Structure formats: C-alpha cells, structure tokens
Chains A and B, each alone.
Chain A
C-alpha cells in the first residue's frame, strides 16, 4: 500500500518520561486524503506520539519525515510551518477574545481583523463550519469552541490535522456535524488523524486504523477489512467479550424518591425544573440527555452539594422509614447512616486530589474513622493495594500521585474507593468518559455487581448504546425537565434521542 508518499512518516520513535516508556520504537505512516484512527488503551502512548508530531514533546530517539523529507520538530511553531495542526482535548483559547482574535493570536504580521474574518468565512464555507468570527469565546458552547480550534489550525495552513478525542465532549448531533467536516477535509486532500476510544466512530469515520499497545505499534489496516472485535483484541492483547450483562433487578424497593426538585445556578438560570422520579434498590437507573441538561445538578443535589430551590429528596430505608436528604451536606448525610457514593464528572477537580497518592485519596472517605485526633493511615493504603489488584490499576506504586496516572486508571481509583464504601446508593456521572474499552467493561461489571448487591445505581451516561444495554430504566432529561422514563429493555435509540431534544419526544402516544 506504499504506492503513495506518506505525508508523515514516523520511524523508530521512542519517548521516555523518567522510568516510564511512553513510546517504544513506534513506526507510523499518515497519508493525505485519508482519515486515520489511532487506537489504543488509556496510557498506550497515542497522545504522546501525536504530541511529538505537533512539537510539544521532542522524541528521545527516532526520526520524523514529512513528504519523505526528514524534519526536526522542536516546537509547535516548527510543526505549524510543516503544516501540522493539533486539536487538543483541552482547548487552548482565550475566553475574553473573539473567535477571530483567537485565531490570529500569535501570528506575525499586521493585525487585520477584517481580512482575518474574511479568510475565516472562506474556510468555514469550504468545509461547512459554522463560526461567527466576532463571537466571544465565553459565549460559545463546547462544540463551537472546538470548531474555533479546528479553524485556527486550518487558518494557519495546516494540512495534517490531529484531533485528540474530539467527540468526548460532543452530543451525537454535534459529532455527526464534526464528522461531516472531517470527511470534507479528507476529500480536499488533507491528512486527518483522530484519536478515539469509541469503536463505532472508528468504523463509521476512518479509512485506516493504527493500533498502539503499551507504547508499541501493534499494526495498522484498512478499516473496511476489520471489525470492532478484532480491533479491541489487538488493543488489549487478548480476546475481550464485548457484551454488557443486564441481570433482572432482584426485589426492587424504592430507595430514593425525588419530588419536584427545582434548582437554579448562581446566575439564576433554571437547571432543574420540577424533576420527580424514584430510584429502586437493585436497579440501574440511566439518566440520558444532551450535556448540560441538569444531570450534574441532579446528582449533586442528591449528594448534598447543590443548593436547591424547592422540592424534596427522600431516602427510603428497607423498613420504609423515610429521611429527608435536602438541606444536608455530605457529612450530615453520612452521619444519618446513609451510605451514598458519588463518582462525579470532574474526577480530579472533585472526588480525588490530584497531587495526593493513591493511599491518601482512599483516605478521603475514611480519614474520620481514625483514633482521636489522628488519622489511620494503614487501612487506606491496604485498601489502595487491594484496589490496584482488583481493578488492575496501572501505577508504579500506591505512593504515586494520582495526577501521574492515565485517565482510565484515575477513574478506577475513584470508582474503587466509592464502591469500597459499601454504598446503598451509587451516583455515577460519565463513569467511562475517556476510558478505553477494557477499562469501560470493567467499570460496567463493577457497577453491575453493585446492582446485584441491592444498590440503587444512578448512571448518567452519554453513550446511548451503552445506556440501552446496561440500564433497567432510563430517565431522559431535556432542558432540566424530565422528558420521560422508559424501560431499558426494548427501548429504541431513536426514541430516546428524540426525547433528549424534545420534551416527551415521540414516546408520548
């Protein structure tokens, strides 16, 4: 298949971070007019490899050639001059500037915003973007910001585009739009690399897949000639079963009853509007919705972290005794004897302390149980060891700060700790976001095992396919209101999707 010259050839690339071998003699070709999906588990070195191409890291060993000519990429500026542009997971935009200002920021020459705006419109027309050059970044949605990032690299003349997990923050509709744009770029002869975990995206979008495992290049092949099962096996290194179990709930009893919950944020915007539902023990209640439709506020209200305007949240014990959770902080809820575990969306910002090691993070839930004024440091470290074994957490030691772990392992630490708490209610928000297949299935299994224990699980998810496979019932939120509650078994993806965008959807018959 080497009948055309590769836009990028990476030969024998090795990169170490201290003792960690992030990339081990990787070979990779990227071609023009092709969308390449770069696959690999968390921490397999995909982002590192691409960062070396975009000038953020410098390889310890190996060579990079662009269009057959060897090059040295020392900085992002070098990368830009070679036509390489990368769109990172975390956007690098100045909030108070407009789209056009952000796009021309740092470019040499006279500042001519009008000419820039014209050029931006041309790029938008050519590929089908929708960007207002005069709009401020802080007024934009996540997907708009991403579009600005893409236009920014195109504006600088990039014809080799790298996107690091671009769909992690997008709704299904926005993802479709992005994919259409990427296909336009491919057809215009650009080379596109996309890093992703989502198999169906790989299958629907890419022309070729390349797979990394533990920093090593495993192989590449045309997407058409492979399937999700084979790719997953290559990523993980051994056969994996791609099935989510869904046992029938055993003896479900009402556990959490939410009535007319109404929440406003600091700006006074209505985030939840008279939300009512009941979560049962031994059941997984999925919560679907476009991001920002009140999922976060709902979970945080139950966890005692969100000021609530009106409504009631009652915890119902097995004997039918009811306790009001509203107006109590997490400590008060715990002291009432309610074992409530919460896996929040922002793992390192809430839930874990990035600079602390595994043991100290385990201690967050248990530090109060020490004798007198002292903390008990042995138990949490023992728990950390157990978690490392049980959840296959990849870490140099339990004394390693969690910020050094890859996303999937960070999530395992958090989920592991919350489950070790022996909860009766488990709240999870985007529990598998950014996780590879193997880790995702491990998390699904863990959540299922909690369900079997009789835990009432609230599972906020973004992947409708998973929600439909995993959950017993699905509550669909739309703009802070309950759009409907459907049984997970037999629900149609299309119907749930419609309920997400329109109150009641088509299910109201």
Chain B
C-alpha cells in the first residue's frame, strides 16, 4: 500500500462574478485565438496566405459603401427576427417558427401589394400591409401558443412544423401570382407604380429598415426590462409555479408573448417585401428565423448585445461568401471558418464562469 499519491495538476473552480470588462476581455481573447486558428487552418488546407483571407473577409463587409449598406441591412433584418423570438425565449418558450412567421408576414404584405391597388386609396396600402403582416405573423405564432397554453403541447416542434406550412403556402401563391406567366416566380411587384414600397429615406434604400429595427431594439429592451409584461415574462420563464403563486395567469402570458413574437416576425416579413426585395419567394427569409436563435442565445436574450451578435454572424457570413468568390474556394470553407469562430466564442463562456486553478505544490511527493 505504498502507492505514491498523485496530486492533480489543475482543477476547475467556479469563479465569482466577473466585472463586465473582464468578461469581455475573455471574449475578445477568444475571438483573437479563433482568428489565429482560422489562419493556421487556412494555410494548411488551402495554402493561401491567411492574411489575404482575413483581408477578404473584411472586404466582404466593408469593401465598398454599397457592401457596408448591405451589411447594415442584413444586420437589421437578422436583428429584427432575433428581437422577435427573444420575448418567447425569455419565457423559456422555444419559438423556432421565426422563419415561418416572417414568411407568412411577407406573404401578407405581398398579397396586399398585389390585390389592393385600385381597391383602396393608394395611401392606405402601406398601413394595410403593416396590419396584415403583423396579424399574419401573430396568427402563425398564436396557433402553437394556443395549443401550448390549452393542452401543453410542445411549442418547439409545433412552431417548427408551422415553418413548412408557411413555405408551401408561399410556394403556392408564387405560382398563383406568377409574373411573367410560366415562370413560377412573382418578379418585382408594382415595379412601375412602386405602390406598397417603402419610401426612400435620406437617399439610402436601406436606411428606413435600419431605423425601424433600431427603434424596435430600444423598444424591446425597455419592454423586457422595465414593463410589467416584461417582468411577467421573466417570472413565467423562470418558474411557472411561482408565477401562479403571485397570481400571474400563465396561459395568458404565454399566448400574449407568442402573439407579440409572431407579430414582430411578421413585421420582419414586411420589411423584407416592402423595404428591400419588393417581391416574394419561398426563401425570402433566408434562414434568419434559425440564425436568430443563435443570435439571441449568444447575447443571452439581451436586445442590446444582440446588435453585436447579429453583426458578428452577418459579418462572418458575408466574409465567407467573399472568400468563396475571391479565392475560388468552396463556400463551405467559409462555413468552416465561421464554425471555428463560433466554437471559440461559445467556449469562452466556460472560462467566464469557471477558472482553471493550478494546484500549488503540484508534484510534491510524500
């Protein structure tokens, strides 16, 4: 029984609360490390100079004023959907139907643009679009919410399935309203009259969308943190029993919050159709309903931090696209780099909560 005792070299211990700048220093270091790893991977796999690749990623977002506007517009759209799903997430209600809710909002907007001209005064078209898209998104989220509140169905699966229904509906209407005939696409709606198009503000096509989402971001921050509704959402999310204990009607909060979530998704659909694309396709939302889940989680459901996380994801995505074209690399390579960077960012949260402690006197023999 003369076994030498081995002291472990290190152990993991929980940290106390870090100051915000310490936490961000860790996150910054993680991004730096991620870039180094990306550079090594790039050199090894493609033989390209990693700095040229970084430069390309940078240029993908900031290369030209136009690219910068596109970047901002993409951030705004992703942020809009992320803001939409966040109230539900804070309630621990996993609304994965942002994609479908935005799509159905887009469908409602497009329907107004196509069907209303001539039937209502021109000035009334945009308000109608707004109302219809909000209502459509709300209904799309309200259906799963009703069943969750009433019968405790699983909102994750239900909202997910509603996405497919929305996609098929849009595909159907793309054929119904096809233009030109036989193309199975809608093409630019009201391209001559520009009815139902957002007005151009400040000479920039995308500026109005960006301003709307910025205002929405502030509003959502206030709503979640300073209003009674926001407080109720937090309590229901943390503990339904405690919510009932203080007399919060949990079912009502669930439905109300999902309606809000869906309505803002619907608004995102409106921004896409009336603000930028002026058309409708089944892929118009472009997976933002799902990317939004990541944006919201990475930002810990904080609307202001979500500006940064959506920037990060859009920036990486556009950079990936740029290197794909510039170096003739497969688009998947950009995705690999995005994956590496996300791995480091998510991993850094571990080091914010825990620290590795070296054992003092390690290796000492008895």
Contact = CB atoms under 8 A, between A and B. Distances in A.
Contacts of B6: 72
A374 interface: yes
A330 B8 CA distance: 54
A29 B300 CA distance: 46
A330 B17 contact: no
Contacts of A4: none
Given A330-B246, A349-B241, A363 B231 contact: yes
Interface string B6-20: 111001011111000
Contact of A344 (B17, B231, B245, B357): B245
A346 B1 CA distance: 48
Contact of B16 (A19, A60, A70): A19
A71 interface: yes
- Counting chain A CB atoms within 10 Å of each CB, the highest count among B15, B16, B231, B357 belongs to B231
Contacts of B1: 69
B226 A374 contact: yes
A375 B228 contact: yes
A353 B238 contact: yes
Interface string A206-222: 00000000000000000
A330 B357 contact: no
B247 A334 contact: yes
Contacts of A333: 247
- Counting chain A CB atoms within 10 Å of each CB, the highest count among B11, B227, B242, B244 belongs to B242
Contacts of A303: 245
Interface size class of A (residues with CB under 8 A): 35 or more
Interface in A316-362: 329-334, 342, 344, 346, 348-356, 360
Contacts of B241: 346, 349-350
Contacts of A58: 8, 11, 13
Contact of A18 (B5, B17, B230): B17
- Counting chain A CB atoms within 10 Å of each CB, the highest count among B226, B230, B246 belongs to B246
A502 B296 CA distance: 57
A20 to B, nearest CB: 7
A296 to B, nearest CB: 12
B246 A364 contact: yes
Contacts of B360: 61
Contacts of B238: 353-356
A82 B198 CA distance: 74
A17 B11 contact: no
B271 interface: no
A242 B235 CA distance: 39
Interface string A364-408: 110110100111010000000000000000000000000000000
A18 B14 contact: yes
Nearest to B236: A353
A425 B15 CA distance: 42
A370 B228 CA distance: 8
Interface string A70-87: 111010000000000000
A368 to B, nearest CB: 7
Nearest to B15: A18
Contacts of A377: 226
Q: Is the interface of A mostly helix, strand, loop or mixed?
A: loop
B247 A330 contact: yes
Given A16-B13, A17-B16, A377-B226, A330 B245 contact: yes
Nearest to B11: A58
Contacts of B16: 17-20
Contacts of A364: 235, 242, 246
Contacts of A72: 5-8
Interface in B233-289: 234-235, 238-239, 241-242, 244-249
A145 B328 CA distance: 64
A355 B245 CA distance: 17
A374 B227 contact: yes
Given A350-B242, A350-B245, A353-B238, A367 B231 contact: yes
A334 B244 CA distance: 13
Contact of B242 (A329, A331, A352): A352
Contacts of A452: none
Nearest to B7: A72
A389 B283 CA distance: 59
Contacts of B234: 353, 356, 360
Contacts of A329: 244, 247, 249
Interface in A1-51: 16-20
A356 B233 CA distance: 13
A305 interface: yes
A373 B246 contact: no
Interface of A: 16-20, 58, 60-61, 69-72, 74, 303-305, 329-334, 342, 344, 346, 348-356, 360, 363-365, 367-368, 370, 373-375, 377
14 contacts: A17-B13, A20-B16, A69-B1, A331-B247, A342-B245, A350-B241, A350-B244, A350-B245, A354-B239, A355-B238, A356-B235, A364-B246, A375-B228, A375-B230
Interface of B: 1, 5-8, 11, 13-17, 226-232, 234-235, 238-239, 241-242, 244-249, 357, 360, 366
Closest 7 A-B residue pairs measured CB to CB?
A18-B16, A331-B247, A330-B247, A350-B241, A58-B11, A19-B16, A353-B238
Given A58-B8, A346-B241, 14 more contacts: A17-B14, A18-B16, A72-B5, A74-B8, A329-B249, A330-B247, A331-B246, A333-B247, A350-B242, A353-B234, A353-B242, A360-B231, A374-B226, A375-B228
